[in-house]
Structure 1
Amino acid sequence: MLHLHYLTPCSPEDDLTTLARSNLASVRLRAAPVVRISRALGWRVTFGEVISENPSIVLIGKIGSQSIEVRQKLWLEEIQRIKQNSQIFLDYTDHHLSFNSPMTSFYEAAIQLVDRCIVPSASMASLLMKFWKGPISIIEDPIEIECLAPKEMSKKPITLLWFGHSTNIDFLIKFIGSRFLEGDRIRFIVLSNEVGLNHFASSNLSSKANIEFNLALWSLNNITEAARIADMCIIPSDLNDSKKMGASSNRLITALALGLPTAADNLPSYQEFAKYYCSLQGNDFRNILNDPTKYGPRVSEAQIKLIPRFRMNKIEQDWKNFLLNSVATS
């Protein structure tokens, strides 16, 4: 029987349900599909920070910054211990090799030990090629919600939705402070983790517009309920920030699945889908802000043509094909 171990900060006592409900997107969107499809193949599957025995495949998930010095030492020792008898794959979802972060030294060392890398976007693959000359496979992030139909009418004042990790909050703060005009009346729903919400609430935010904020913790239930209220979604970023250049398209695809006309900065992984959203640069943003419903047909088309590509069953099939091909060519 083939044996896959997913190297992750999760506890070995956790079950698949715990992985699928994790607050960490790297666990929920990357680890859970791999564990689920590997078990469906009849493989033995283990996960956690200690590698059990000598697996056929070890898949390195996102290490995270918590207790990084201790975790880095443990993970590298575990990888080196089993390398002679196992295939080692790295799921590389954040481009820590391009800037100095607490996790950079781990990835600099780990990438020397792996046989193949997996990334969530073509843009990340292109970036990684500068640091890794071995094979790279692209497996995108799945979406987790059912489609909601675009609204036929928008309310006044307009309600905007923003959702994201705390690392993206500063982009939102900067955007609010610079892109709205005097006379704009806006309601804003902001969904993030506790760190992000606290940072947003304590920021010295100023805007010419009259804005009413509603802050809440991100969850699948909250994002769905917020989408039923919101008229549109915004995803501001920084096109000069190297940390964002390899980001996946997941937030954009999720916003479209939620039925929301969306205005976003043109991150590399978004550009393939440019016809389905409005750029935050230029006059288009004011147009969508004035009447989001005019962009509803774009959302409907995206739900038909794009969303099936990102469904969980499709992404699990991609992981299945990748794993079976890896075994066949080993």
Structure 2
Amino acid sequence: MKPLIAWKPFDPKLNAASTRLRVLLPCQYLQEAGWNCEIYKPEKADEYDLVIFQKTCTKEDITLAKNLRKKKIKVVYDLCDNNFYNPYDLRKYSQKAAGSKSMIERANAVTVSTPELQKLIAHPQCIVIDDTIDYVQRNWLKEIPYKLKKWQEKWQDKSFRVVWFGNSKLEIVYKSLGLSEAPSGMASITKVTPALEELNKRIPVKLTVISNSEELFQEHTQNLSFPTKYYPWQMSTFPLLFFQNDVCIIPIALNPFTICKTNNRLVTSLSLGLPVVADKIPSYEEFKDFVLFGDWEKNLYRYATNKKLRDRHVKEGKEYIKNNYTKKRVVEQWSKMFKTVLKLK
């Protein structure tokens, strides 16, 4: 009889990106590969052989994990962020760190998204499992008017179009507490705006931001000498808005939180056909042959004046992603963990 495996996601509505990448897509691929797995159902708790807690670490989850262990049901805690970095000693994040530590203590194994995060976990069975690549489905029919608009604007307007995208939730929380420096968020754009200002003196620049806070956008882009545009992030419109640009920028404030991040944004950019200039973190290193790192003024100018280089990096990057980040890789990584924890042959 096949073991029954369940994921218990931190987001019950299943809308969060990490839930999609570390619960929904892996579960789908593993079902297709023959594993008996599903989203956790409380009424079936006693039937499971293994329960994976994805990020969630509430008091109820800690109690549940303890009770599952008493019933000889295996528990895995899955983590994709450094929950232990709390530079301002904020109560909310201290509680989250304590919750994560409690879940780690009760787990048979811990899965993490990057080797850097693995270094922080004090558990004898800590396993790195990559984020699943979310290949955004492009609707070619819907893209026709956007492509026509892009070609028309390119013919009339020679601007170099730069885009930043990302979730600013952490920065929003910090700002609500009167703190100006969040570990990550839209504020990272300000690292690049001086280079964009310099580039704009030589080549017209336009900046687009796709995120979840127009207020932060206004704050971080005010008084710039070149045009800027904000769009709220929506899964349905993101690809259409994103591909109208020439390059994606991923500036990063390097700290213990961000160095543990995955390659998700970089991979998304290349997969959707845009070259990337980024600050380097460990998970980006494998893409060094088709991404430009740091030296913002120089590298933005390189891409702005060399379309062949942009096209080559996108082509090579897409090929690398296609060959390495496959469904097979997802299934193999999770399957290996299942077999290890359940002691299956």
TM-score range, shorter chain: 0.7 to 0.9
Among all aligned residue pairs of Structure 1 and Structure 2, give the percentage whose two residues are the same amino acid: 18
- What secondary structure does 2:46 align onto? coil
Give the whole-Å Cα distance in 2 for the aligned partners of 1:251 and 1:49. 34
Q: Does 1:192 align with 2:211?
A: yes
Partner of 2:322: 307
The one of 21, 24, 30 aligned to 1:29: 21
CA contact (8 A) 2:6 2:50 kept: yes
- Runs of 4+ displaced beyond 6 Å: none
Give the whole-Å Cα distance in 1 for the aligned partners of 2:327 and 2:30. 14
1:174-214 Cα offsets, whole Å, 9 max, x none, are 23543322525322221123xx333223x15345531231x
The one of 285, 289, 292 aligned to 1:278: 292
Q: Which amino acid aligns with 2:4?
A: H
Give the whole-Å Cα distance in 1 for the aligned partners of 2:26 and 2:313. 32
- What secondary structure does 1:181 align onto? helix
Closer, same or farther: CA 118–223 of 1 in aligned 2, 3 Å: same
Closer, same or farther: CA 197–314 of 1 in aligned 2, 3 Å: farther
Q: TM-score, normalised by structure 2?
A: 0.77
Q: Which amino acid aligns with 1:116?
A: A
1:144-200 Cα offsets, whole Å, 9 max, x none, are 22689xx9x99421111211111443344423543322525322221123xx33322
- What secondary structure does 1:144 align onto? coil
Partner of 2:303: 288
Give the whole-Å Cα distance in 1 for the aligned partners of 2:29 and 2:82. 26
What is the aligned residue count? 304
Pairing 1:192-211 to 2, within 5 Å after superposition:
192-193=211-212, 196-201=213-218, 203=219, 205-206=221-222, 208-211=224-227
Q: TM-score, normalised by structure 1?
A: 0.81
Greater fraction of residues in helix: 2
Instruction: Kindly state the Cα deviation for residue 257 of structure 1 after the two structures are TM-superposed.
Output: 0.9
For structure 1, which runs of at least 5 residues remain unmatched after alignment? 64-70
1:218-255 Cα offsets, whole Å, 9 max, x none, are 2333222123311111111112x211011001111111
Partner of 1:68: none
Partner of 1:66: none
The one of 62, 72, 75 aligned to 2:61: 75
- What secondary structure does 1:7 align onto? strand
Partner of 2:144: none
Closer, same or farther: CA 3–197 of 1 in aligned 2, 3 Å: farther
For structure 2, which runs of at least 5 residues remain unmatched after alignment? 141-146, 171-183
Instruction: Kindly state the Cα deviation for residue 82 of structure 1 after the two structures are TM-superposed.
Output: 0.9
Partner of 2:6: 5
Partner of 1:180: 196
Instruction: Kindly state the Cα deviation for residue 30 of structure 1 after the two structures are TM-superposed.
Output: 0.7
CA RMSD of aligned residues (A): 2.9
- Which deviates the most, 261-270 or 153-162? 153-162
Q: Which amino acid aligns with 1:118?
A: T
- Which deviates the most, 30-39 or 228-237? 30-39
Closer, same or farther: CA 163–286 of 1 in aligned 2, 3 Å: same
- What secondary structure does 2:105 align onto? coil
Instruction: Kindly state the Cα deviation for residue 328 of structure 1 after the two structures are TM-superposed.
Output: 3.4
Partner of 1:124: 117
Closer, same or farther: CA 211–292 of 1 in aligned 2, 3 Å: farther
Q: Does 1:94 align with 2:86?
A: no
- What secondary structure does 1:303 align onto? helix
Pairing 1:135-154 to 2, within 5 Å after superposition:
135-145=126-136
CA contact (8 A) 1:7 1:58 kept: yes
CA contact (8 A) 1:162 1:235 kept: yes
Q: Which amino acid aligns with 1:162?
A: W
Partner of 1:238: 253
Closer, same or farther: CA 180–188 of 1 in aligned 2, 3 Å: closer
